[in-house]
A and B are shown apart, each in its own frame.
Chain A
Amino acid sequence: MANIPMLQQLQGYLQLTNQRQQLIVSNMANVDTPGYHTQDLDFQKAMQEVVNEGSARMEPASQEIAGLPERPDGNNVDIDRESLLLSQTQLQYQMGVQLIKAEFHKLLTAIKEGS
């Protein structure tokens, strides 16, 4: 599978969306934790790395998001932002899965029609 570059990139894409989804889920889990700050990853930069090198070399570092207003208890989780990103990332993941399925389907067609 690794010798099909398309699949390799899609695999990196799925890993990335999955990782981002996990950060969003932790933000949601800590919506009531005092002093917690929203974490996210630089999706564009990490995806660039996947495209350039085939797959991410290491797990992209999560970072705090600037510009979110802080509540009096020091928490700055914005539920609307997280809900929106949850659906968005879920759809991105779904798209990646569909593309992988299409790639395998092509392979299957080549095997079947080749004889």
Chain B
Amino acid sequence: MGLFDMLTISGTALAAERQRAEVTSANLANAETTHTDQGGPYVRKEVVFSATSSSPFRTVFNGVGRFAQAPGGSVELTDVVNDTTPPVMRYEPGNPDADKNGYVAYPAINPVSEMVDLMGSVRAYQLNASAVNAAKQMIQESIDILKTT
């Protein structure tokens, strides 16, 4: 507990939203990728967010451990998972990645929904950036108590 914990919490959110934007950008960039090192088309990725526990016990425990873990109420990107939607088959007999029937497997990525996701993460990033500004101002005000008038 302290003024600087606010900065840490907002910092974890900024990092998480940035990583989400990165994953979404990768999905957008690879919307038409039919060839990967693992074979088959690119598989759409999704992020998993989870909140760290803010139980009183953990709060006290963290205070003893001195910055050992992110403070309670932070957000963590715990996993990046593959979307299990089957690939979209398009008939393109001339394509080198086509199967014996002439169909090419394309990743099941909808650019519009990816764009909406990207905008969502950008807005959440802005929201947390303004929370960082609020925390900074509060810290500055506390420092100003020391100033003699």
A and B: interacting chains: yes
Q: A23 and B73 in contact (CB under 8 A), knowing A28-B13, A97-B145?
A: yes
Give every chain A residue within 8 A of B115 (Cβ-Cβ). none
Q: Mark B90-115, 1 if CB is under 8 A from A, else 0.
A: 00000000000000000000000000
Q: Are B54 and A26 in contact (CB under 8 A)?
A: yes
Q: Are B6 and A25 in contact (CB under 8 A)?
A: yes
Give the complex CA separation of A62 and B72 in angstroms.
Answer: 11
Give the complex CA separation of A51 and B112 in angstroms.
Answer: 55
**Interface residue count on the A side (C-beta < 8 Å):** 34
A8 within 8 A of B: no
Partner of B17, one of A32, A100, A105: A32
Q: Mark B106-149, 1 if CB is under 8 A from A, else 0.
A: 00000000000000110010011011001101100110110011
Q: Are A61 and B56 in contact (CB under 8 A)?
A: yes
Partner of A30, one of B3, B5, B73: B73
Give every chain A residue within 8 A of B128 (Cβ-Cβ). 28-29
